[in-house]
Structure 1
Amino acid sequence: MLNQQSQLWTEKQVREYAQIKSRNKIYNAIAEGLPVIRTGRLVRFRPESVVAFFEGKEQSEAAN
């Protein structure tokens, strides 16, 4: 379990990956369906879910 926990990304790591400066944009992405893992007040993300979410978002924007 500890190993799995260490593989999760923090909000900061997601913002770095997606090149997002604003915390509000991350919360908007969560509202749009970015999968999260909540543990109390902590929010963590699976890296593969983050990549899939932003790749899908990029493809849908390219189609418009």
Structure 2
Amino acid sequence: EITAYEGQHVEKGDQLGMFHFGGSTHVLIFRPGVNLEFDLRGQIPGPNSVNIPVRSKIAIVYGE
């Protein structure tokens, strides 16, 4: 469910929407042009992958 509307001014940390499918899910949104590399811990994303521990590094952002 998207709770933000087109043209709305949002600040870092503002709620943009929510999931209603059970479980804990997070979404990271980056502005265009951000150069990053995700740390998948040698896994291929999918139903057979394992959870990444809380407070773990998930990506590296490189300089522009």
One fold, TM greater than 0.5? Answer: no
Larger radius of gyration: 2
TM-score (norm 2): 0.26
Higher helix share: 1
